């Protein structure tokens, strides 16, 4: 049996991961709140911005709908719908336009056959299976002292980390496309682009933080398994 209590020294990796995630979350919330108070000069709403970008890229078939919440914006390629949150849909702030353009960036990625997003979408079913199976295997392996079972769980859990890694270029590329489009279509002026870039950069940092947190968790689990194996010799 392995010791995995609160006083386990490897728990420091969990704490560090939580801190990194919380800092990234606080940064995006604060950055978004700052630029959500700054209205764009042209007064275009998030929904209008998204519609212009989609139409300009020949994506008139993609619908735009309003959903509740803040920073809950997303693009669903299965039904070709961009969902913009309450904070984005009817807002003309720099932050709202940056987020709306970012979601359009994902739609353009699908149209262009962008490889990372094709890989990410392709591995989703596999990652879901690994995610659900990994934790029970790890837990049972650690409790019963079955190192091989715990290691199998860790290997499966690495699929989650791989998914997070491939998500990073997908998100950063969507943001790069968004900023370029906002400038080329004159939706935002140069100084406003800088504000939108700060919002999208802060959002990207949450994906880096999630990946770092998962990597630290994997490292902790490997230490527990290797340490437990040595204790049993």
List the catalytic residues.
Answer: 103
The order of strands in the sheet holding 74-76 is 63-67, 81-85, 74-76
HEC sequence for the chain:
CCCCCCCCCCHHHHHHHHHHHHHHHHHHHHHHHHHHCCECCCCCCHHHHHHHHHHHCCCCCCEEEEECCCCCCEEECCCCEEEEEHHHHCCCEHHHHHHHHHHHHHHHHHHHCCHHHHHHHHHHHHHHHHHHHHHHHHHHHHHHCCHHHHHHHHHHHHHHHHHHHHHHHHHHHHHHHHHHHHHHCCCCCHHHHHHHHHHHHHHHHHHHHHHHHHHHHHHHHHHHHHHHHHHCC
**Tokens (6 digits) for 135:** 């934790």
């Amino acid at each position: 049996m392995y010791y995995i209590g609160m006083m386990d020294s490897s728990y420091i990796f969990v704490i560090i991961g939580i801190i990194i995630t919380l800092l990234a979350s606080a940064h995006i919330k604060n950055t978004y709140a700052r630029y959500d108070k700054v209205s764009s000069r042209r007064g275009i709403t998030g929904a209008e911005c998204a519609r212009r970008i989609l139409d300009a890229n020949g994506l008139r078939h993609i619908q735009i709908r309003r959903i509740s919440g803040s920073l809950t914006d997303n693009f669903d390629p299965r039904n070709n719908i961009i969902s913009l949150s309450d904070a984005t849909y009817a807002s003309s702030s720099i932050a709202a336009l940056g987020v709306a353009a970012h979601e359009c960036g994902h739609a353009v990625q699908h149209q262009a056959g962008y490889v990372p997003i094709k890989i990410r979408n392709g591995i989703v079913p596999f990652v879901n299976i690994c995610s659900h199976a990994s934790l029970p295997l790890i837990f049972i392996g650690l409790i019963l002292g079955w190192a091989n079972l715990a290691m199998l769980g860790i290997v499966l859990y690495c699929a989650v980390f791989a998914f997070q890694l491939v998500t990073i270029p997908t998100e950063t590329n969507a943001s790069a496309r968004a900023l370029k489009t906002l400038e080329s279509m004159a939706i935002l002026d140069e100084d406003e682009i800088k504000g939108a870039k700060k919002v999208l950069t802060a959002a990207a940092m949450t994906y880096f933080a999630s990946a770092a947190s998962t990597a630290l968790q994997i490292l902790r689990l490997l230490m527990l398994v290797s340490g437990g194996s040595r204790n049993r010799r």
